[in-house]
A and B are shown apart, each in its own frame.
Chain A
Amino acid sequence: MEVFLQQLINGITLGSIYGLIAIGYTMVFGIIGMVNFAHGDVFMVSAFIALIAFLILTTWLGISSIALALFIVLIVAMLFTSLVNWVIERLAYRPLRGSFRLAPLISAIGMSIFLSNFVQVAQGPRNKSTPPMVQGEFVIFTQNDYAVTLSFKQLIIWGVTAVLLACFWYLVAKTRLGRAQRACEQDQKMAALVGVDVDRTISMTFVIAAALAAVAGTMYLMYYGVVSFSDGFVPGVKAFTAAVLGGIGSLPGAVIGGLLIGLIETMWSAYFSIDYKDVAAFSVLAITLIFLPQGLFGRPDVEKV
């Protein structure tokens, strides 16, 4: 019971990070029907930007308030990562819009290889570890000498994720941009006819996806305290699994899928085998796609002749 509770807390934390990345996959897929393979690497780049921003604040400017530092790091990471993804969309995906279906996928795979190797060359191949940014924890209860704890880090991740999801929901549901986005998702030609700037809307989708990935990247860095150039691939695939599980194209589905994947992974590690935890996530991906291709909340894909 106590182990289960602890794993539940850990799983929700991990799941929040996956959920934030998964929104990026699901939004981009929804609007241009492409699996943005490089999204995991954009997440990794954002973690590096967050690391660099954190080092500037603490070692150069000597800011001692961790809360303030984290807040600034988050904003900086979101800004720069958005710029990165905006440029990627302009250079690598926009020229291929309307081309045959595999072209953007191959381009995205190339971008993914490019990004991880770029970071390797620019920042070095070694793991970058930071001193713990946030310490301390609440002990919820103790049973059989096993303390179930909720660390401040986890609490911050829950809080930040919840706040950002609320902002994001407002953006998509209530603003002009969100309306344009939903219109483009349904029919790009029609949307263009009624005066929606399709190119700009797609660009903004990539920017929002990157901003959410940057939040995930900052949280990932704060939670684990270490990041390396190869950290984009596996979280990327897991977040994609989350998006598929929730039903690709569905925004609440991505968040719930993320939480489920986080929980499955931590429970699997706790009760079965930690070596095979990636196998668990990958199997969920395969099983979902085979038996439930529309996911939990997705629309069924109707085959038209």
Chain B
Amino acid sequence: MAVEGQRLDLPRALREAGVTALIAFGLFLPLIGLQTVTDIRNDLILETRWLLLFAITAIVGAGRLAFSLGFEPWFRQRTLRPVAATPPAWRGLVAKWFVPFAIGFVIAYPPIVIALNGFGGSVKWIDNFGIQILIYVMLGWGLNIVVGLAGLLDLGYVAFYAVGAYSYALLAKSFGFSFWILLPMAGTLASFWGILLGFPVLRLRGDYLAIVTLAFGEIIRIVIINWVDLTSGYAGISGIPRPTFFGIPFNANDDGFAAVFGLEFSPLYRVIFLYYLILALALLTAFVTVRLRRLPVGRAWEALREDEIACRSLGINTTNTKLTAFAMGAMFAGFAGSFFAARQGFISPESFTFLESATILSIVVLGGMGSQIGVAIAAIVMIGGTEIMRELDFLKQIFGPTFDPTQYRMLLFGFAMVLIMIWRPRGLIATRTPSVFLKERKSISVDLVKEGHG
């Protein structure tokens, strides 16, 4: 009865909507209602946008009204309903077949796209969506070792990505080594840096560790910017050699890939090759992680995440455990970095800002720390979602030709991070199966697992 009564409480809902609209008006009055623009004489002047301000205020007020009239009663009723004791049967089926199906789909993705879009229109879909997302999936899985398994919060992960990219670019340009030699070298160098930066932070935990790794990431970026002799600073390194198909380059020459295999030249071959390359690297990361979790070192990581003190009193060498986690995570970032340099052919410090670290970390946390599938889904949602903003040209017809959806990419990205955290603080996949179990395998809610101190 009480629920019924509250649902029809229109005056209260109206009052709340009014208050919310008033707050929104105050909030947006200076920054949206007024805009600072530079006039012809290069002086700053103010322009007003009252219409936009009132529109946004009205939208916020209406949204609040809809929330308290529609969503809240629905939500309350939903929480009152008893939870089914056993999950429905289809869930188990989905869980069983999801991974083989997903791997099959990503392997079949390029042919599907070519079948749908033809040869010319596919580059964008494979490159921007396929390769771009897979890079972040790989980075997410790499960071997952550090954050998700070992529980070490790392906000400077992009530094290792940068080390990998710059090692490949510099060594390939100066010594002419091939991609296949440099890939393991870049990984090794990055993991070396992982150990080097891991040493001083062994004592730190939680937020402090995050901030120090952030500082390290920024220091490496500033050094890259200012060490102009080596890295040419802001200008970046261009003309980085592209990877070859076992020695056959992807170009229009007579010894190029298309000519050797008797095909018509198209830039698509290189893109497809790169796609399968990063797919293989990403799957390697996932495979290694899954296997490592079953080894003593993987179990030590998870023990470390759950309780460092207990871990130490059981005789686990926490120093080695932490350093191996840093080194493994950094190695995969190094692989991804050298792939990135080879794919772009150009790198500059702009690609390795703090925002990248935050993006990768948010993918790991939003996916549900420690969950491989969750991280992959989060990468698809966050990176695919922001990439798709580039494609929304129809919005120009609604908001006028000056409207540029790509401007709003990071705005919505940040907003989505906050929303997903409020909606599911434990990430999208909030259950995890213990790597080691007694008698029977059952998944446990992450809420039951205390997060490690670190």
Bound form: Cα–Cα A35–B354 in Å: 16
The stretch that binds B, out of A7-15, A53-61, A261-269, is: A53-61
Closest to A102 in B: B365
The stretch that binds A, out of B127-135, B337-345, B355-363, is: B355-363
B426 engages A100 (CB within 8 Å): yes
B31 engages A49 (CB within 8 Å): yes
What 0/1 pattern do residues 243 to 266 of A give for CB contact below 8 A with B?
010000000000000000000000
Residues of B contacting A131 in the complex (Cβ-Cβ under 8 angstroms):
43
The stretch that binds B, out of A84-92, A134-142, A166-174, A184-192, is: A84-92
B206 engages A293 (CB within 8 Å): no
Neighbour of B211 across the interface among A56, A99, A240, A278, CB < 8 A: A240
Bound form: Cα–Cα A279–B226 in Å: 11
Bound form: Cα–Cα A60–B35 in Å: 14
A293 engages B204 (CB within 8 Å): yes
A105 engages B207 (CB within 8 Å): yes
A123 engages B365 (CB within 8 Å): no
Closest to B217 in A: A282
Q: Which of B206, B211, B226, B451 has the most CB of A within 10 A?
A: B211
B219 engages A106 (CB within 8 Å): no
Q: Does A18 contact B (CB under 8 A)?
A: no
- In chain B between 7 and 33, which residues have their CB closer than 8 angstroms to a CB of chain A? 23, 26-27, 29-32
What 0/1 pattern do residues 403 to 445 of B give for CB contact below 8 A with A?
0000110110111111001100110000000000000000000
B421 engages A106 (CB within 8 Å): yes
Residues of B contacting A107 in the complex (Cβ-Cβ under 8 angstroms):
417-418, 421-422
Residues of A contacting B297 in the complex (Cβ-Cβ under 8 angstroms):
none
Would you call the interface of chain A mostly helix, strand, loop, or mixed? Answer: helix
Neighbour of B210 across the interface among A35, A83, A103, A278, CB < 8 A: A35
Neighbour of B27 across the interface among A48, A84, A103, A119, CB < 8 A: A84
Give A148 Cβ to nearest chain B Cβ, in Å. 30
B31 engages A122 (CB within 8 Å): yes
Q: Does B203 contact A (CB under 8 A)?
A: yes
Q: Does A109 contact B (CB under 8 A)?
A: yes
Residues of B contacting A60 in the complex (Cβ-Cβ under 8 angstroms):
46
The stretch that binds B, out of A110-118, A149-157, A175-183, A204-212, is: A110-118
Bound form: Cα–Cα A290–B211 in Å: 11
Give B395 Cβ to nearest chain A Cβ, in Å. 14
Bound form: Cα–Cα A131–B45 in Å: 12
Bound form: Cα–Cα A122–B29 in Å: 11
A118 engages B214 (CB within 8 Å): no
Bound form: Cα–Cα A102–B364 in Å: 11
Q: Does A147 contact B (CB under 8 A)?
A: no
Residues of B contacting A112 in the complex (Cβ-Cβ under 8 angstroms):
414
- In chain A between 20 and 37, which residues have their CB closer than 8 angstroms to a CB of chain B? 34-35
Residues of B contacting A129 in the complex (Cβ-Cβ under 8 angstroms):
44
Q: Does A4 contact B (CB under 8 A)?
A: no
Neighbour of A286 across the interface among B27, B153, B212, B365, CB < 8 A: B212
Give A56 Cβ to nearest chain B Cβ, in Å. 7
A56 engages B361 (CB within 8 Å): no
A100 engages B31 (CB within 8 Å): no
Q: Does B387 contact A (CB under 8 A)?
A: no
Bound form: Cα–Cα A83–B22 in Å: 12
Q: Does B92 contact A (CB under 8 A)?
A: no
Neighbour of A101 across the interface among B43, B309, B451, CB < 8 A: B451
Bound form: Cα–Cα A286–B451 in Å: 24
What 0/1 pattern do residues 361 to 372 of B give for CB contact below 8 A with A?
110011001000
Residues of B contacting A124 in the complex (Cβ-Cβ under 8 angstroms):
35-37
Neighbour of B411 across the interface among A53, A109, A121, A126, CB < 8 A: A121
Neighbour of A87 across the interface among B27, B36, B37, B203, CB < 8 A: B27
Bound form: Cα–Cα A105–B213 in Å: 15
Q: Does A42 contact B (CB under 8 A)?
A: no
A96 engages B425 (CB within 8 Å): yes
B425 engages A103 (CB within 8 Å): yes
Residues of B contacting A102 in the complex (Cβ-Cβ under 8 angstroms):
153, 365, 369, 451
Bound form: Cα–Cα A119–B36 in Å: 11
A278 engages B414 (CB within 8 Å): no
Residues of B contacting A111 in the complex (Cβ-Cβ under 8 angstroms):
414, 418
Residues of A contacting B45 in the complex (Cβ-Cβ under 8 angstroms):
55, 59
- In chain A between 64 and 110, which residues have their CB closer than 8 angstroms to a CB of chain B? 80, 83-84, 87, 91-92, 95-96, 99-107, 109-110
Closest to B408 in A: A121
Q: Does A285 contact B (CB under 8 A)?
A: yes
Q: Does B215 contact A (CB under 8 A)?
A: yes
Q: Does B38 contact A (CB under 8 A)?
A: yes
Bound form: Cα–Cα A243–B309 in Å: 28
A56 engages B35 (CB within 8 Å): no
Residues of A contacting B34 in the complex (Cβ-Cβ under 8 angstroms):
52, 56
B210 engages A100 (CB within 8 Å): no
B46 engages A56 (CB within 8 Å): yes
B415 engages A100 (CB within 8 Å): no
Closest to A51 in B: B36
Chain B interface residues toward A at CB < 8 A: 23, 26-27, 29-32, 34-38, 43-46, 153, 200-201, 203-204, 206-208, 210-212, 214-216, 218-219, 222-223, 225-226, 309, 354-355, 358, 361-362, 365-366, 369, 407-408, 410-411, 413-418, 421-422, 425-426, 451
**Top 6 A-B residue pairs of the complex, sorted by shortest distance between their CB atoms:** A110-B417, A114-B414, A113-B414, A282-B215, A117-B411, A103-B425
Known: A52-B34, A107-B422, A290-B201. 5 other contacts (CB 8 A): A96-B425, A100-B425, A275-B222, A279-B223, A290-B204
Pairs A–B under 8 Å by Cβ, sample size 8: A83-B26, A100-B425, A110-B421, A114-B415, A117-B408, A117-B413, A117-B414, A305-B309
